[in-house]
Chain A
């Protein structure tokens, strides 16, 4: 019994410690890194280091880009996933089941495999170096569709839709007036999950963007590579790129976890 709490506390400690330690280093002077034993409490240099980050890489631009990209992707994913989820969960049409199976199956396709032709496609569209290259391919995804299908088939009473029909609603009217309000809790969770993964995405932005117009993650990797011995700088950047998300997670973590667990059970 006591051992269980001890174990879980230890795991919680190891989960949080690297993040805490990165803030400790980020708030100190470079010389603190050569100390033995290493410092364990934050120092007073955090804001000086952060301003150095903004001087070294276009971090303000990166923040704006990341907010635009992750924000528009989240809104689009919430909308299109609810739309498709509504069709799969509550409407009857030929080929529905097979289309749902195909949707779930596409989750297994490794996206990395197609990165080269995808890049060539972006070159053709002249989208390389722009946020379109990040936003458009991500407007909707299989996980979102599946997630909303599951939620709506469980949480939205069919009687409510029938009542709407009797009142003369078209299918679109039903979606707008009945489904969207009912989907709000799940859509919010989906939106947060999508925002986080878009914010944290690294590989595709690295391939398709220019270093002078980066997202937060690309800017962080520039910091980490170009200034190898300046760990303080790298970690200060990491802290300001990561902490907003951690704060959001601390606030809404309970709902996000509920969403992940729901979305995964039937996988």
Chain B
């Protein structure tokens, strides 16, 4: 008589525990990610907006609310516009040829090929190399007096170029570094998408006598368009945030100027580097101004990525 209710509660208790285990424990499993993201991703992001509305420095205890004052000061700051121009210039110079080359390389790798693995590994090798190493190495290669690149160019009668000194030349040098590091990575992502394209399409096209280039244009590119859109957006977001390359190039090319100015004439100071300069390299540690610049940079990222998204989505087949 008395054991029956006891068994019942025990069973109920067990079923409650089971329900808890099945229904609730999944939230505990995904919680670490969301907690960390809120604390170290989302909170800083939102707080940046708050800081940007203040006269806020590391040195002063009090923060004065200035509304959009930092933003209007920025829009009148010639250095800010210079950094915007440099970011766009380096972004275009490095991204456009890089993605075209990556698609073409992926196309070459997407056949039966000997040494397939060897080629793939060599393509990704630059991506394993750190930014710091890349810039240190390339600063040497791009050296004015004894650099390997000027030496090779001298065979063609080109005089010694001071790569870090000019606007166009420094943008070109930085783009080469960025391309060297990222082309192979993007090629592998394109290759992954290409391998999902049905083989029969190519066989039929070959029977019809279509050249490989025609096949690339009319079959491959339309079939992998979602991946192309994805890579273009990711590359755009990356290109808008370039900072380590110009920072280190300025240091190791020995052109003078501070670490954050991007050359003595700011000829290769990017937006992200401008933010760093205002917030950390500037003696006033002007966090308010730097945060405002961050938000304008974010706005620029969204606008440019949005434009690229619309362009890539509309392009049909004839991307190359």
Residues of chain A at the chain B interface (Cβ within 8 Å): 4-5, 7-8, 11-12, 14-16, 18-19, 21-22, 25, 33-38, 80-81, 83-84, 86-88, 91-93, 96, 99, 103, 106, 108-121, 136-137, 139-142, 145, 170-172, 175, 196, 199-200, 202-203, 207, 217, 220-221, 223-225, 228-229, 231, 234-235, 237-238, 241-242, 245-246, 249-250, 253-254, 256-257, 260-262, 264-265, 267
| Chain A minimum-CB-distance residue to B196 | A265
Q: How near does chain B come to A176, taking the closest CB pair, in angstroms?
A: 12
| Cα A235 to Cα B223 with chains together (Å) | 44
Determine the chain A residues whose CB is within 8 A of the CB of B131 once the complex forms: 200, 202, 217
Interface residues of B in 193-239 (CB under 8 A from A): 193, 196, 227, 230, 233-234, 237
Q: Once the chains bind, are A19 and B123 in contact (CB under 8 Å)?
A: no
Does B244 reach chain A (CB closer than 8 Å)?
yes
17 A-B Cβ contacts within 8 A?
A8-B105, A18-B141, A87-B29, A116-B275, A116-B287, A117-B51, A117-B291, A119-B279, A119-B280, A121-B40, A200-B132, A207-B280, A217-B132, A245-B128, A245-B129, A260-B185, A267-B234
Q: Once the chains bind, are B29 and A84 in contact (CB under 8 Å)?
A: yes
Q: Once the chains bind, are A21 and B141 in contact (CB under 8 Å)?
A: yes
| Cα A200 to Cα B248 with chains together (Å) | 14
Determine the chain A residues whose CB is within 8 A of the CB of B134 once the complex forms: 18
Q: Once the chains bind, are A224 and B121 in contact (CB under 8 Å)?
A: no
Report how many residues on chain B are interfacial, defined by Cβ distance under 8 Å.
94
| Cα A170 to Cα B230 with chains together (Å) | 39
Q: Which among A22, A93, A254 is the interface contact of B26 at CB below 8 angstroms?
A: A93
Q: Once the chains bind, are A16 and B251 in contact (CB under 8 Å)?
A: no
Q: Which among B118, B180, B234 is the interface contact of A18 at CB below 8 angstroms?
A: B180
Q: Using known A-B contacts A142-B33, A231-B140, determine if residue A91 contacts B26 with beta carbons closer than 8 Å.
A: yes
Determine the chain A residues whose CB is within 8 A of the CB of B43 once the complex forms: 114, 117, 121
| Cα A108 to Cα B229 with chains together (Å) | 14
Q: Once the chains bind, are B125 and A80 in contact (CB under 8 Å)?
A: no
Q: Which 5 A-B pairs have the closest CB atoms?
A: A114-B44, A12-B122, A261-B192, A228-B254, A225-B251
Stretch in contact with the other chain, from B66-74, B76-84, B90-98, B295-303: B295-303
Interface majority SS (helix, strand, loop, mixed), chain A: helix
Interface residues of B in 1-51 (CB under 8 A from A): 21-27, 29-30, 32-34, 36-37, 39-41, 43-45, 47-48, 51
| Cα A118 to Cα B39 with chains together (Å) | 9
Determine the chain A residues whose CB is within 8 A of the CB of B36 once the complex forms: 136-137, 139-140
Q: Which among A35, A171, A246, A265 is the interface contact of B128 at CB below 8 angstroms?
A: A246
| Chain B minimum-CB-distance residue to A262 | B192
Determine the chain A residues whose CB is within 8 A of the CB of B188 once the complex forms: 257, 260-261, 264
Does B173 reach chain A (CB closer than 8 Å)?
no
Determine the chain A residues whose CB is within 8 A of the CB of B298 once the complex forms: 110, 113
Does B161 reach chain A (CB closer than 8 Å)?
no
Q: Once the chains bind, are A111 and B41 in contact (CB under 8 Å)?
A: yes
Q: Once the chains bind, are A112 and B241 in contact (CB under 8 Å)?
A: yes
Q: How near does chain A come to B263, taking the closest CB pair, in angstroms?
A: 14
Determine the chain A residues whose CB is within 8 A of the CB of B172 once the complex forms: none
| Cα A170 to Cα B275 with chains together (Å) | 50
Q: Once the chains bind, are B133 and A253 in contact (CB under 8 Å)?
A: no
| Cα A99 to Cα B241 with chains together (Å) | 27
Q: Once the chains bind, are A224 and B252 in contact (CB under 8 Å)?
A: yes
Q: Once the chains bind, are B108 and A225 in contact (CB under 8 Å)?
A: no
Q: Once the chains bind, are B294 and A238 in contact (CB under 8 Å)?
A: no
Q: Using known A-B contacts A4-B111, A116-B51, determine if residue A15 contacts B136 with beta carbons closer than 8 Å.
A: no
Q: How near does chain B come to A188, taking the closest CB pair, in angstroms?
A: 16
Q: How near does chain B come to A134, taking the closest CB pair, in angstroms?
A: 11
Q: Once the chains bind, are B132 and A238 in contact (CB under 8 Å)?
A: yes
Q: Which among A15, A35, A87 is the interface contact of B30 at CB below 8 angstroms?
A: A87
| Cα A267 to Cα B21 with chains together (Å) | 31
For the A-B complex with A114-B294, A238-B137 known, give 20 more contacts whose Cβ atoms are closer than 8 Å: A8-B105, A11-B119, A11-B122, A11-B123, A15-B180, A18-B180, A36-B146, A96-B26, A99-B30, A99-B34, A136-B36, A139-B36, A200-B132, A242-B133, A245-B130, A253-B120, A254-B121, A260-B124, A264-B188, A265-B193
